[in-house]
Amino acid sequence: MRFVGICQYDGSNYSGFQSQKNASSIQDQIELAISSIGRLDGRINYAGRTDAGVHASGQIFDFSSKDDRETSQWLKGLNSLLPNDISVSSIQKVPDEFHSRFDAINRTYSYVIYTGKTQPIFLRDYVYWEKNEIDIKIMKAEAAHLIGTHNFNSFRGSKCTAKNPVRTIHSIDIQIKDHFIIISMCANAYLYNMVRIIIGTLLDISKGFGKDMKTILSAQDRKIAGKTAQAQGLFFTGADYKKIDLSLNNNSTNPLSIFINPRQ
C-alpha cells in the first residue's frame, strides 16, 4: 500500500530534507519513524529537496508499506516518534503508482524578510533581517519579468546538475504587513538555489544595486545575478497534483500566518 503525507519542519538543526552521509536530515527522521511502526518498502519520495536551514510548512512525501494499517494509526504513530521540530499533519492512501516528486505539477516557496530597525531575536531562525531600505515598487516590477517560461541559468547555484535550465514561474506574490515582507513563488520546478538567488537579486535591485532583471535573465550568467539569500527565511509551502486531493485530511495551520496572512 502507498501512503502520502504532509509534514512541517523547522530545518534549523538539519542538513536539509534529503538523506546525507554523516549528517542529520528530515528524510532520515521520517524513515526511522515509519520503520519503527511498520515495514517501510524502500525509501520515501518527496516533493522538494530543501537545503540546510530551510523550513517547510507543507512538504509532501510518500512511502510504501505492506502493513495494512489505518491512516490514523500511521499519523499518531509518526508524531509520537518524530522529534519535536518535525510534525506530520496528514496521511492518506494513494494509488501505488503515485510519486510525490514526479507527479507534482508545481511547487511553492515563501521567503520572509524582516525590515525592522533592530534584530528580531526570537525570529532570527525564520526570517532574513534586511537593514537597508527596500523599494517595494521596484521589487514588484522587476519580479514580474520572471513570470513565464525562461532559461534561468543566471539563477542556478554552482552545484546544480540539471541538464535543462528552462523553468516556468507561474506567479510571484509580494505581500507586506508592518515590518514583514513575504515573497511567494510558484513554479513547475526549480534549479538548485534558484529561489534564494532570485530573492537575493530582487533585494539587490530594490536597494539600487546590480543590473535589471531583463538584463540578468538574458545574460544567462550566474555572475550577473545578485547574492544567494540566506536559508533561514525560506519555507517550502507545498506542491499541487492532478492525481490526488491533498486537502482531504490536512488540518495543519500555516506557520507563516504569524507574520502575515498569505493569500490562499
Same fold, 2-102 and 107-235: yes
At the topology level of CATH, where does 2-102 sit? Answer: Alpha-Beta Plaits (3.30.70)
Q: How confident is the model at residue 249 (pLDDT cuts 50, 70, 90)?
A: low
Query: Three-state DSSP class for 219?
Result: helix
From 10, 28, 41, 51, the catalytic residue: 51
| Mean pLDDT (whole number) for 159-187 | 94
Domain ranges of the chain: 2-102, 107-235
| Mean pLDDT (whole number) for 110-124 | 94
Query: Three-state DSSP class for 159?
Result: coil
Residues 6+ apart with CB under 8 A from 30: 7, 44, 61, 78, 82, 86, 88
CA of residue 192 relative to chain centroid, distance: 12
Is 240 among the residues known to form the active site? no
Q: Does domain 107-235 have CATH number 3.30.70.660?
A: yes
The tens digit of pLDDT for each residue in 38-55 reads 999 999 999 998 999 999
Query: Three-state DSSP class for 171?
Result: strand
Q: For residue 264, what pLDDT is reported?
A: 42
Lowest mean pLDDT segment, chosen from 106-110, 212-216, 232-236, 244-248: 244-248
Q: Looking at the predicted structure, is the pLDDT value of residue 179 above 50? A: yes
